[in-house]
Amino acid sequence: MEFKRSKRLEVLPPYLFAEIDRKKKAAIAAGRDIINLGIGDPDRPTPDFIIEELGRAASEAKNHRYALDLGLPELRLAFSQWFEKRFGVLLDPESEILPLIGAKEGIAHLPLSLINPGDVVLIPEPCYPPYVSGTIFAGGKPYWLPITSANEFLPDLENIPQEVARKARLLYLNYPNNPTAAVADLEFFRSAVDFAGRYEILIAQDAAYSEIYFDEPSPSILQVEGAKEVAVEFHSLSKTFNMTGWRLGFAVGNASAVKALSEIKTNIDSGVFQAIQYAGIAAYQGYSRPWRAELLATYRARRDALVDGLESLEWEVLRPRATFYVWIPTPDGFSSVDFASMLLDKADIVVTPGIGFGPSGEGFVRAALTVDEERIKEALRRLPEVVSALTSS
């Protein structure tokens, strides 16, 4: 018997990468040497001192039981201490911090805690897909805010029609940005806080990539005066500590929004495995160890190798100031899906078509710096064949 999917699933945007995924799997099965720049999953291991703490904590029987919904007090304290040191912002561990089973989980569940059917959610696009799916599952109406190179990949909040702004209850932001690698400064965050205050909108700032930067450290929106009145910010250990599979993150900021999200989670999950919580404490206590500088140096070298190589082929590419993504314009006349398919067919290189992140992503592909520098250089050695195919087509 085949059951019909719910209407919520029926209205989700289509999965546009199915054909490329099929081709990738077929190529791997055929023994082709695939260079996968498509997935934002760090290839470097989790630091040893975090793994060691997980092993110690996992050996204790007390950590095998249900976890507290709000997480260990020691974990929330570790988050608050790091936040104060990193951003100069004081947080109340009891009311302004909520551990999550990865930032993605909290981001997707937030609309369930605040949005009623028909409420408007402001979503800059191209964007991380859970902003859209979480909104749709809650019965909200996405209102798209295109972000393009013309506005430095920042949403133009002041040009949102007043009738839309008055109906909006939530605004997603994501800086440093996935997929464009754009950054936002405190001046932009001040304007966003002012906008949200005028229209009584909660800002959900996704800061999953705040610790992957190459120039100035990325700011927190909570550094803006009054931001706690209108904003929550999501942080993740996935990229910061190479812990994508561990599933640990946290939400901070507006106490009422944090409480509402915690009530949703109480009804859906039973908290983070306590041994992983102890590993999270160790992670932030060891944040300043030398491995962090080594990690950023690794991503910088990869970024420069890819961007320099593309520029040598006369490709105009912005050099990212943060994240481990490069947002690459497609050649004239090629859609993002067509170009991604050509890279796979002609050069055994996997990238992500920009259209999968939203309409404004058309004309770009995203490359992730999650393979070592030699593999990036090998990808660049294969590109002239693609360029040759383009000029002869």
pLDDT, tens digit (0-9, with 9 covering 90-100), for 99-150:
999 999 999 999 999 999 999 999 999 999 999 999 999 999 999 999 999 9
Are 139 and 267 within one domain? yes
Are 18 and 101 within one domain? no
Are 74 and 138 within one domain? yes
| pLDDT score of 390 more than 80 | no
Are 147 and 128 within one domain? yes
Does some domain include residue 1? no
Are 233 and 360 within one domain? no
Q: Rounded distance, CA 164 to CA 157, Å?
A: 11
pLDDT at 13: 77
Q: Summarize the confidence of residues 279-295 as an average pLDDT.
A: 95
| Domain end position, chosen among 250, 285, 320 | 285
| Domain end position, chosen among 263, 285, 307 | 285
Q: Could you tell me the pLDDT band of residue 391, with boundaries at 50, 70 and 90?
A: low
DSSP secondary structure string for all residues of 303-342: HHHHHHHHHHTT------SBSSEEEEEPPTT--HHHHHHH
Evaluate whether 342 touches 386 at the Cβ level (below 8 Å): yes
pLDDT at 229: 98
Q: Summarize the confidence of residues 266-277 as an average pLDDT.
A: 95
Does some domain include residue 215? yes
Angle between helix 290-312 and 373-392 (nearest 10): 20
pLDDT at 208: 98
Q: Could you tell me the pLDDT band of residue 258, with boundaries at 50, 70 and 90?
A: very high
Cα atoms in the 13 Å half-sphere on the side-chain side of 363? 8
Does some domain include residue 2? no
pLDDT at 9: 85
20-34, 260-274, 298-312, 317-331: least confidently modelled range? 20-34
pLDDT at 157: 97
pLDDT at 11: 84
Distances (CA, A) of 255 to 97, 101, 232, 233, 260: 8, 19, 9, 12, 9
Are 137 and 257 within one domain? yes
Domain of 304, CATH number, reads 3.90.1150.10
Does some domain include residue 343? yes
Domain of 224, CATH number, reads 3.40.640.10
Distances (CA, A) of 84 to 81, 92, 262, 344: 5, 11, 22, 45
Q: Could you tell me the pLDDT band of residue 392, with boundaries at 50, 70 and 90?
A: low
Does some domain include residue 211? yes
Are 102 and 206 within one domain? yes
Distances (CA, A) of 328 to 314, 315, 318, 323: 12, 8, 8, 14
Q: Rounded distance, CA 356 to CA 146, Å?
A: 14
| Domain end position, chosen among 270, 285, 300 | 285
Q: Summarize the confidence of residues 219-236 as an average pLDDT.
A: 98
Residues in a beta bridge with 185: none
Does some domain include residue 228? yes
| pLDDT score of 10 more than 80 | yes
Domain count, the chain: 2
Q: Could you tell me the pLDDT band of residue 18, with boundaries at 50, 70 and 90?
A: low
Are 70 and 148 within one domain? yes
pTM of the model: 0.95
Enclosing domain of residue 20 = 7-45+290-392
Which residues, 6+ apart, have CB-to-CB distance to 100 below 8 Å?
Answer: 106, 234, 248, 249, 250, 251, 265, 272
